[in-house]
Amino acid sequence: MIKTSKIKNMEEFASVSGLSRPTVSKYFNDAESVRASTRTRIEQALEEYDYRPNIYAINQNRKLTKNVGILVPYLSDPFFAEIARNVEQRCIDAGFRPTLYSAHGDPSLEVEILDSLRSFKPAGVLMAPLGRSSIRGEIEKFCDEVPTVLFDSNIPDLGLAFVGSNNTQFSMLMAEYLCRTGEPPCFFEMQTPSNPNANKRRQGYLDAMLKLGHQPKVIKAEGDGWAFEEIGRRGAHEVFKSGGFPSKTILCSNDRLAIGVLTACWEEGIRVGLDPEASIRVAGQDDHPLARYTCPPLTTIAQEYEAISSYAVEMLTKAVESGEKDHESKLFEGKLVMRDSA
Amino acid sequence: MIKTSKIKNMEEFASVSGLSRPTVSKYFNDAESVRASTRTRIEQALEEYDYRPNIYAINQNRKLTKNVGILVPYLSDPFFAEIARNVEQRCIDAGFRPTLYSAHGDPSLEVEILDSLRSFKPAGVLMAPLGRSSIRGEIEKFCDEVPTVLFDSNIPDLGLAFVGSNNTQFSMLMAEYLCRTGEPPCFFEMQTPSNPNANKRRQGYLDAMLKLGHQPKVIKAEGDGWAFEEIGRRGAHEVFKSGGFPSKTILCSNDRLAIGVLTACWEEGIRVGLDPEASIRVAGQDDHPLARYTCPPLTTIAQEYEAISSYAVEMLTKAVESGEKDHESKLFEGKLVMRDSA
DNA sequence: GTATTATATTTACGCGCGTAAATACTGGAT
DNA sequence: ATCCAGTATTTACGCGCGTAAATATAATAC
């Protein structure tokens, strides 16, 4: 039963709960720091008179806020949306107040966000950098000022930690699987990948092919930006126009590119998949949320969404609490997800 | 050339720019409110000594902040990610400081977000409610306290305005097109749609069929939550198991459902599309970012993303500036996007 | 040159809370 | 009853800025 009388500030709330303001303040800072009997009195009052401390007044004086910034390069990419959701939830569970930002693929916007993030006085930041186009200097400055954990895309030696996937292993795993089950794959990627992970994946492919004694073949699609599906589709059409892929098996650098390739194949009337009538196999990497729903469903390498986000938040929590600053790097292996496209 | 000496507060910044603090404060509040010569002095100082007013101190005393909250029901849905991105940018352009929130499909989280949004003292909020499962009472209370523009999904008479699509028209347009070009469609939707728009779409379908003298047939897929693709896929499989769809043309309530249906068709070995070998046509609604890349590419109704977000922000800006409170409702028509699935 | 505005400065207070130090209280043990 | 450690209270200051009122100054007009 909430009383109608509105509580203006902590002073008033303290008086209605029969306590002093500093005590109440202590409670809101850390509920465990007051005696159990005091705690219940405050919590009863909280149910009766709805009151919330003014966040602006709180953060003005606290040296360490409970704010956490989450910055991803492109939120319209379901992969980042999904991992952001995951990370956000874990931050809340860890007692932080996360705020989500997207650079929308724009390096200058990324820097702007870092700027406004600074004035948030965040306890820490979880950041997936844009990658290739990120302005390293600015990010470095930021990491020096604010405890920052990088994820997904690494910038060597920056921040408290990096948490991501072992992208080399991703491609090796997939390449090996493809070689084992059919014609050795060619590798399909963007000419100018927006992300250093792409280089690791290419290298993984090359390594695997070398190891298995096959001739690697890398095909590049032109195009810039974040419209990966379109780049994949156009690129594949180009390839078909000029004689087709050098192998009947195409390992794409990521799922979104693969989705574009699937579309191109459909438009060319080329059957994709494992059944006898199909003439081409296509595989992706990432386990994009829609990979299971392509036609045919996309064989891919699953990122450890949960593990990555969990570990990243853990790293940040630890660093914030201990104040340590030694750089750590953690890579998770991917798992093969066999579906019908390859 | 940025001086190394760090500016702590507005007092210091005012002194290095040779002005008084109230004048500088006025500038940051509204750059146009000071004399041009003063403005340039401040801006020169800004380039020299990087300083940003403390946001917490600013917002503590301002009755009207420049904060805007953007709340969507499910950010991992690319449709909402895309519209959020659009809205966010327009808010920035309009001079606001937007912050993005997602209810992640959870009504209680939606209410929690509204709660924490209150303490942000936002100038206004742009909100796409969860829909059916939204707790109307709570939202109503919020709309009474904070200038709120609803978009995408309407809650009658709530907020300053509603901006969305004419969902009835969407289905009518598509149904008419499908009747004109082939067998009249059946309508495929979720049993318990999470969103009132679904009801409008069903009604539009029914109206169109009635008008054209065809027998309407509505098929419902079981399932709850936001995994629309999976619900569509499972639902379609169920239908195939029990004798198949009552028409060779399937109009889906939304694109994500249609993507699931396409997957089910693929899994059943049923060809979809316009070419002679195909036995089924499938159409969606929304023009989901990936609709163009399904196999076959999905025929759908395009939402006016740009127009909706632009109008929503415009409504909010106007309301914030004028303080008016008369409810307004604006619906945009959809456009038919013909691709190969129907 | 003076009168008239428009703009800047001075001064002073308040916002809601964090925080620190000194003091007073509480419950439980002896 | 006495002592003690753990908590709560009192008091007081500060954070960085918004804002208002009175005053001083600069820009513009005549």
Predicted confidence band at A327 (pLDDT cuts at 50, 70, 90)? Answer: confident
Q: How far is the CA of B120 from the C1' of D19 (A)?
A: 21
CB within 8 Å of A107: residues ≥ 6 apart? A130, A133, A134, A135
Residues in A 282-311 with any Cβ partner in B closer than 8 A: 289-290, 292-297
- Residue B135 has what pLDDT? 80
Protein CB footprint (7 Å) on chain D nucleotides = 6-12, 14-21, 27
CB atoms within 10 A of CB B114: 24
Helix (H) / strand (E) containing A92: helix A78-93
Q: For residue A331, list its beta bridge partners.
A: A164
**The Cα angle at residue A48 between residues A42 and A54, in degrees rounded to 5:** 65
Helix (H) / strand (E) containing A97: strand A97-102
- Reported as a single tens digit per residue, the pLDDT across A204-227 is 999 999 999 999 999 999 998 899
Protein CB footprint (7 Å) on chain C nucleotides = 6-12, 14-21
Q: How many residues are there in chain A? A: 342
Q: How far apart are CA B193 and CA B195, in angstroms?
A: 5
- Reported as a single tens digit per residue, the pLDDT across A44-103 is 888 888 888 999 999 988 877 889 999 999 999 999 999 999 999 999 888 888 999 999
| Amino acid code (one letter) for B313 | V
Token digits of residue B73: 């029901």
Is pLDDT at B1 greater than 70 in this prediction?
Answer: no
* Residue among B167, B175, B178 at smallest CA distance from B200: B167
- Reported as a single tens digit per residue, the pLDDT across A283-301 is 999 999 999 999 999 999 9
Over residues B174-178, mean pLDDT: 95
Chain A residues touching B266 at Cβ < 8 A: 295-297
Is pLDDT at A20 greater than 90 in this prediction?
Answer: no
Virtual torsion, Cα A272, A274, A280, A281, nearest 10 deg: 100
Token digits of residue B137: 């009472």
Predicted confidence band at A30 (pLDDT cuts at 50, 70, 90)? Answer: confident
Domain ranges of chain B: 10-53, 65-164+305-333, 167-302
Q: What is the largest CA-CA distance in chain B?
A: 83
Whether A329 contacts chain B with CB within 8 A: no
Closest-approach residue (CA) in chain A for B59: A56
Predicted confidence band at B186 (pLDDT cuts at 50, 70, 90)? Answer: very high
Token digits of residue A312: 């990243």
Q: How far apart are CA B40 and CA B24, in angstroms?
A: 12
**How far, in Å, are B231, B287, B304 from residue B251 at the CA level?**
15, 14, 20
**The Cα angle at residue B319 between residues A57 and B140, in degrees rounded to 5:** 70
Question: pTM for the complete prediction?
Answer: 0.89
| Amino acid code (one letter) for B80 | F
- Reported as a single tens digit per residue, the pLDDT across A122-174 is 999 999 999 877 788 889 999 988 899 999 998 888 889 999 999 999 999 99
Q: Is the CB of A322 under 7 A from strand C?
A: no
**What is the distance in angstroms between the Cα of B232 and the nearest Cα belonging to chain A?**
10
Quick check: A297 and A291 in contact, CB under 8 A?
Answer: yes
| Bridge-based pairing state of the strands A249-252 and A281-283 | parallel
From edge to edge, which strands make up the β-sheet containing A218-221?
A: A218-221, A186-190, A249-252, A281-283
Is pLDDT at B2 greater than 70 in this prediction?
Answer: no
Cis peptide before B296, with omega less than 30 degrees from 0? Answer: yes
Cis peptide before B289, with omega less than 30 degrees from 0? Answer: no
Mutation to test the B interface, candidates A295, A305, A340, most B Cβ within 10 Å: A295
Mutation to test the A interface, candidates B54, B55, B75, B99, most A Cβ within 10 Å: B75
Predicted confidence band at B4 (pLDDT cuts at 50, 70, 90)? Answer: low
CATH hierarchy code of domain B167-302: 3.40.50.2300
CB within 8 Å of A157: residues ≥ 6 apart? A327
Asked if the domains A65-164+305-333 and A167-302 are classified in one and the same CATH topology, the answer is: yes
- Residue A134 has what pLDDT? 74
Q: Is A198 helix (H, G, I), strand (E, B) or coil?
A: helix
Residue entry with tokens 């040779």: B18
- Residue B5 has what pLDDT? 65
| Cross-chain CB nearest to B78 (options A54, A76, A260) | A76
Whether B89 contacts chain A with CB within 8 A: yes
Percent of chain A predicted with pLDDT > 70: 98
Quick check: B319 and B287 in contact, CB under 8 A?
Answer: no
CB atoms within 10 A of CB B119: 13
**Structural fold of domain A65-164+305-333:** Rossmann fold (3.40.50)
Token digits of residue B60: 């503590």
Quick check: B250 and B281 in contact, CB under 8 A?
Answer: yes
Q: How far apart are CA B233 and CA B282, in angstroms?
A: 13
Q: For residue B71, list its beta bridge partners.
A: B101, B127
- The DSSP 8-state label assigned to residue B171 in this structure reads H
More confident residue, B72 or A120: B72
Predicted confidence band at A275 (pLDDT cuts at 50, 70, 90)? Answer: confident
pLDDT mean across residues, chain B: 90
CA neighbours within 13 Å on the CB side: how many for B146? Answer: 26
H-helix segments, chain B: 10-16, 21-29, 36-48, 55-61, 78-93, 107-118, 136-145, 167-181, 196-212, 228-241, 255-268, 305-322
Is pLDDT at B310 greater than 80 in this prediction?
Answer: yes
- Reported as a single tens digit per residue, the pLDDT across B187-208 is 999 998 878 899 999 999 999 9
Q: Is the CB of A57 under 7 A from strand C?
A: yes
Helix (H) / strand (E) containing B276: none
pLDDT mean across residues, chain A: 90
More confident residue, B242 or A275: B242
Q: How far apart are CA B336 and CA B334, in angstroms?
A: 7
* Residue among B48, B189, B71 at smallest CA distance from B130: B71
Mutation to test the B interface, candidates A76, A93, A263, most B Cβ within 10 Å: A76
Window A23-42, strand C contacts by Cβ < 7 Å:
25, 28-29
Q: Closest nucleotide to B63's CA, by C1' atom?
A: D18
Helix (H) / strand (E) containing A279: none
- Residue A4 has what pLDDT? 53
CB within 8 Å of B96: residues ≥ 6 apart? B66, B67, B68, B123, B124
Q: Is A69 helix (H, G, I), strand (E, B) or coil?
A: strand
* Residue among A123, A101, A227, A139 at smallest CA distance from B92: A101
Distance, CA of B97 to chain centre: 18
Whether B147 contacts chain A with CB within 8 A: no
* Residue among B127, B216, B205, B210 at smallest CA distance from B173: B205
Whether B211 contacts chain A with CB within 8 A: no
Q: How far apart are CA B180 and CA B178, in angstroms?
A: 5
